[in-house]
Chain A
Amino acid sequence: MTEPELRASAGIAVLGGQVVVHGRNLHAECSNMTFIGYFFLCATGRTLPANETRVLERLWIGTGYPDARIWCNRIAGYLGSARVDPGLALSAAIAASDSVAYGFRAMRAAYAVQAALPEDAPAREVWLEAALSERRVLHGYGRPIHGRDERIPWALRALADAGLRAGPALKRAFWLHRRLQQEKGIQMNIAALWAAVAIDFGIVAAEYDAFMLLLFAPGYLAVYADQRSRPPFSFLRGHQTRNP
């Protein structure tokens, strides 16, 4: 029987020796990275300029909402209240975030919308006309609860502070925002902005999927820890939606 072989390019850990990550010495070269920068390297095999990494970090921070009412955070709340281990709780909250209405699948769909927007202005108008006549759902536009997404100004501020201007994709995203406001009275939500910024930074769809995985994690963990500090099973006890 031949010896089983495992082939990989992500890296290698020589225990007691050197650890290599995508060709870089982990301890010597990556220790000075920000966590987000290192996470991006691991998820994609490459790095971004420091100012772009900082923008991505601020986009993540800008959506780490610690409100227990948010659907994925509620799961963290239930599990913290039940003293489930944090690793299991985080896994569950991430799994639940793989949702169509909100979360990762919605973000993937929003990326697809941004990627589909033609560069040429007349072609964009044709594209939009078709989308409207077909009543296509344009993910990234129309926020379910309130008309205004409070994260958008702060995202633009992150770009400005990093000395960056809007790239072509972000400009197209705002073009669609204005047109949909005119046509349907709906506005851009942060998912469109995230996707457009990612496209401008050269992040392809598969990289976007992998990299954005932990952006809600601070929110999950804030709620988990808060509810874990309270009496067991006190989180919404007695309010199960038995017959919704």
Chain B
Amino acid sequence: MNRLLRELARTLRHEVLWDEGVEAARNACVAGAPISAALITAAAYYDNPFTGVRALVECMHRITSVPLEISDLHDSLANSPQPEADGLAFTPGFGFVTEAQAAYLRRKLGGWLRRHAALSRLERSALLAEHYSALCEAIGWLNPAGLTAFVFSDLGLSPDDAERWYLRVRLGPALRQAQRARQLGVGRFPFFSERYVYEGTWPEPVELDLSSLMQQVGID
């Protein structure tokens, strides 16, 4: 079990899975905020209901509450409106990853199933892998939270264990990149480099006479 968890951790820390949590953490530290600011930022990000701990726990709940049959798994993982995500319909633990990220996760899962074949406890993961294409066509590609949900469920670990572990693992790259951003400094960060399209209306501009105001308040 420990070896599998170490492999899962290495997988989740890989650069291919660096996401907006890493970027937001960079943002947090680049202007010289303490590392705690990056920690708070990344921890907030990885609380999200799509790929974060909330998705992980919900996915674990869904896959452990049904028998180990593909039809039951399929039904329990069906997309549904999620109140915590403004009613968007999705399956926590699935979707919201790029094709490259999804392929990477699928490849890793396949590798573990082959190498850890003696671990018959990886039953849900095996079922997922066997029916991956059909399942994911309906609900989206497996994402890091979903992969973790399947592994932790198969290993008989609790959602509390999963929450702590997942957050700890995902914070690592975010904090390291935040420190790197802080070393490189604001000058190397692309603030105000994006094309910014303001979609609202424009009021009339108003200019004030600074000299007159300085006189008015008694600044010579």
What residues make up the interface of A, taking CB atoms closer than 8 Å to B? 67-71, 74-75, 78-79, 81-85, 88-89, 91-92, 95-103, 105, 144-145, 152-154, 156-157, 159-160, 164-166, 170-171, 174, 228, 232-233, 235-237, 239-242, 244
Contact = CB atoms under 8 A, between A and B. Distances in A.
B48 A83 contact: yes
B40 interface: yes
Interface in B71-120: 84-86, 88, 96
B28 A92 contact: yes
A83 B34 contact: no
Nearest to A174: B219
B28 A96 contact: yes
B191 interface: yes
A212 B210 CA distance: 25
Interface string B21-61: 11110111111111011001101110111101000000000
Contact of A84 (B47, B189, B192, B219): B47
Contact of B210 (A81, A152, A240): A152
Question: Which residue among A79, A81, A152, A154 has the maximum number of chain B CB atoms within 10 Å of its CB?
Answer: A79
A75 B88 contact: no
Given A99-B32, A232-B88, A241 B23 contact: yes
Interface of B: 15, 18-24, 26-34, 36-37, 40-41, 43-45, 47-50, 52, 84-86, 88, 96, 181, 184-186, 188-192, 194, 196, 208-210, 213-214, 216-220
A91 B33 contact: no
Contacts of B44: 79, 84, 88-89, 91-92
Nearest to B39: A95
Contacts of A101: 31-32, 185-186
A75 B42 CA distance: 10
